[in-house]
Amino acid sequence: MPEQLTQEEISSQTDPSVAKQWDNEAPMSTQFGDFYSIADGIKVCLLSTYRNGTGPVGRSMAVAKRTGPDFLFLANAHSQKFQEIEKNPEVQITFQNSSTQDWVSVTGKATTTSNSDPRIKDIWSQGTRAWFGDLGDGKHTGGPEDPRMKLIEVKATYISYWKAQVGALGFMKEVVGAAITGGVANTGVLRHMLEQDIEKERSNRS
């Protein structure tokens, strides 16, 4: 049912229409579990870097591997994002499920590796070759040994996400009901994990 507001809440310094969306009750195990479920279910995200003179720049990237709250991507070393990460390692990863309205935002610090990183062979697949191509010189083959193929590793420092708790009909019922009653639509939960929460989760999984 739509969340009802009181006059006392409305006069508070924190706008209840925002504050009441946050779920601060769920245990961390549940919060991280739902985060993993959403991200793993979507798999393709936007990786945004900062380009000097332009601002934030995003591009679609398939997650090669997720380990706890951290993400690995296979990428072409000649792409501009490597230069951007070198100058500013702070990046953002975002996932959006247009069917459920679930979304995830991960702020983190990115590092890049050379082609000698053994994890490349572990996560490389034949499908990867299609995005690199074989230049026919016996070196740039699109395989895991291709010197163009490097890793971008993003270690999360802040995570927020929205998880829907109603279906399409429930969503419309909440929105219409809130519009009529003056309440706030209650369609899901908004959660966030701070750096200390993420560090503890990473340590528990190591």
Is the pLDDT assigned to residue 182 strictly greater than 50? no
User: How far is Cα 80 from Cα 29, in angstroms, rounded to an integer?
Assistant: 37
32 HSE (CA, 13 A, CB side): 20
Q: Which range scores top for mean pLDDT: 18-27, 160-169, 195-204?
A: 195-204
Length of the chain: 206
Q: Is 81 helix (H, G, I), strand (E, B) or coil?
A: helix
Q: Is 156 helix (H, G, I), strand (E, B) or coil?
A: strand
Residue 120 backbone zone (phi > 0: left; psi -120 to 50: alpha; other: beta): alpha
Model pLDDT for residues 57-112, shown as the tens digit of each residue: 999 999 999 999 999 999 999 999 999 999 999 999 999 998 888 999 999 999 99
Is pLDDT larger for residue 20 or for residue 75? 75
Is the pLDDT assigned to residue 4 strictly greater than 60? no
The domain in which residue 61 lies consists of: 27-161+190-205
Locate the DSSP E strands across 113-173: 149-164
Q: How many domains are contained in the chain?
A: 1
Residue 144 lies in a domain: yes
pTM of the model: 0.83
Nearest to 137 by CA among 150, 128, 147: 147
Residue 79 lies in a domain: yes
Is the pLDDT assigned to residue 44 strictly greater than 80? yes
Residue 1 lies in a domain: no
Residue 5 lies in a domain: no
Residue 146 lies in a domain: yes
Residue 175 lies in a domain: no
Residue 181 lies in a domain: no
User: How far is Cα 194 from Cα 53, in angstroms, rounded to an integer?
Assistant: 30
Average pLDDT rounded to a whole number, residues 29-50: 96
